[in-house]
Copies of this chain bind each other. A is one copy, B any other.
């Protein structure tokens, strides 16, 4: 065996991902050394409770509750605690101590990324976070490096496994949200408190990270428009299927051309359940899998597919970062840092231009369609397709029951659309606005 320089690796956290990282580091030490050009010595694992049960059988003497001491003198610190504090403090401590940091902490990066990256820049350290955006799928390096010479136009990502699992089951079984959520919780695909997933918070954090990389711009979490999937019901899924769509929770990161003379480009970052054509590559992402569809000016359409979560899968991404950090230590030089100089402004959701599917329950009376069409036209929303079906016919008359109108629009401005929908709701002829969904994917 080659005689390599030894690098000291500190691990913070030994949950589902952390225990797998430790296990693989110990099991494949020689192999990783050959790849990194350095021996990776796991110096210790900082946890809250040394005696807690772990997913892997790890040497007890590695565990400590004293993260701060463990960090000092480490070359690489792997932060897998999750959450903002004490993760933020320990990461800053690691950087200040001269270590490179590897983290899977999307919450931390989406909320305190600038602070962390700036601290790293100050001392020439590097922060690696391949596991923070789409689990095991290599998406950070492709965006950060491979596409750095291109202009990303749009990202559409299925970046939350729990919601994709739920929507996929609803689609295949015709089941309702609550039932599938309960199933998912029983199977361990959803947390006891599913809020972070089903309300889109997790996806929004990942969207902020992906958009920052894709557009070379610091995208704060509060610039991300967020809607969850709790209002998606079996009827919406069925109606989507009928129209050739599937409903997916999408993280959409979009570059918007300058619309006026002298104006600059802008970006839009948003998370919501959207209609995706069944022929689109994203439509065939099933179960808890993730996929990121990227459109770039020169490269065209790309897609990255794989497991979005899971302890051992995410550990793969973390260990790739550890090897990268080790190689950088051996090669010398300072960290490359984040590319954020484009500074593109993020527009509010009202400025977004996309297509919509509006489902209405209307009086089944002569002239109703004309009234609805008139309101849409006044609101600058152009109709692409209409399908009207009678849902409750009054047998004693030629009309008078209710009809369902499913309207597919051409591209419209979100603000125009939402104002128009309000006007529809207030009009005498519309009994109920059943749903308004965006259609994504050109």
Copy total for this chain:
2
> Are the CB atoms of A317 and B146 closer together than 8 Å?
yes
Q: At the interface, yes or no: A115 with Cβ under 8 Å from chain B?
A: no
Please provide the chain A residues from 319 to 346 with a CB less than 8 Å away from any CB of chain B in the complex: 319-324, 327-328, 330-337, 339, 341-342
Q: For A305, what are the chain B residues with a Cβ–Cβ distance below 8 Å?
A: 281, 302-305
Judge whether A320 and B137 touch: CB under 8 Å: no
In chain B, what residue has the closest Cβ to A337? B37
Q: Would you call B312 and A298 a contact (CB within 8 A)?
A: yes
CB within 8 Å of B: which A99-148 residues: 130, 136-138, 140-142, 145-148
Q: A127: shortest Cβ distance to chain B, in Å?
A: 14
Contacts of A331 in B (CB 8 A): 333-336
The reply to whether B307 and A299 contact each other, CB–CB distance below 8 Å, is yes
Name A34's contact: one of B146, B297, B322, B339 (CB within 8 Å).
B339
Contact B32 A149, beta carbon cutoff 8 Å? yes
Q: Is A151 an interface residue (CB 8 A)?
A: yes
Q: How far is the CA of A323 from the CA of B31 in the complex (A)?
A: 30
Docked-complex contact B145 and A142, CB < 8 angstroms: no
Q: How distant is A153 from chain B, measured CB to nearest CB, in Å?
A: 12
In the complex, the answer to whether A341 meets B148 with C-beta atoms within 8 Å is no
* Interface contact B35-A320, CB-CB below 8 Å: no
Of B150, B299, B323, the contact of A145 (CB 8 Å cutoff): B323
Task: Using A301-B307, A312-B298 as known contacts, say yes or no to A216 and B34 having CB atoms under 8 A apart.
Answer: yes
- When C-beta atoms are compared, the residue in chain B nearest to A32 turns out to be B149
CB distance from A14 to the nearest CB of B (A): 16
Say whether A306 faces chain B, with CB atoms less than 8 Å apart: yes
Say whether A313 faces chain B, with CB atoms less than 8 Å apart: yes
For A337, the chain B residues whose CB sits under 8 A away are 37
The docked-state distance in angstroms from the alpha carbon of A37 to that of B338 is 10
Question: CB distance A341 to B137 under 8 Å?
Answer: no
> Which residues 181-199 of A sit at the B interface, judged by CB distance below 8 A?
none
Interface size class of A (residues with CB under 8 A): 35 or more
A150 touches B316 (CB 8 A): yes
Contact status B312-A302, CB under 8 Å:
no
The verdict on A2 contacting chain B, using a C-beta distance below 8 Å, is: yes
Q: Is A366 an interface residue (CB 8 A)?
A: no
CB pair B28 A136 closer than 8 Å: no
A319 close to B150 (CB less than 8 A): yes
Closest chain-B Cβ to A124's Cβ sits at a distance in Å of: 8
Most buried by B among A24, A302, A307, A330: A302
Known: A331-B333, A341-B35. A146 touches B298 (CB 8 A): no
Whether A433 sits at the interface, judged by CB under 8 Å, is no
Q: How far is B327's CA from A328's CA once the two chains are assembled, in angstroms?
A: 13
With the chains together, A126 CA to B432 CA distance in Å? 63
A324 to B304, alpha carbons, bound, how many Å? 21
Chain B residues in 8 Å Cβ range of A306: 299-303
Would you call B324 and A137 a contact (CB within 8 A)? Answer: no
A55–B360 Cα gap in the complex (Å)? 51
Query: Contact: B299 with A150, CB < 8 Å?
Result: no
What separation, in Å, do the CA atoms of A300 and B20 have in the docked complex? Answer: 14
Contacts A148-B324, A332-B334 given; 11 further ones with Cβ under 8 A?
A28-B149, A35-B149, A137-B302, A138-B147, A142-B142, A145-B320, A146-B317, A150-B320, A281-B305, A300-B307, A304-B304
In the complex, 26 of the A-B residue pairs with CB atoms within 8 angstroms, ordered by the A residue number, are A20-B298, A24-B149, A28-B149, A34-B339, A35-B148, A35-B339, A136-B299, A136-B300, A138-B146, A142-B142, A145-B323, A148-B320, A148-B324, A149-B323, A281-B305, A298-B312, A298-B315, A299-B307, A299-B313, A299-B316, A299-B317, A300-B313, A301-B306, A302-B306, A304-B304, A331-B333
The 4 tightest CB contacts between A and B, nearest first, are A149-B319, A333-B333, A138-B146, A138-B142
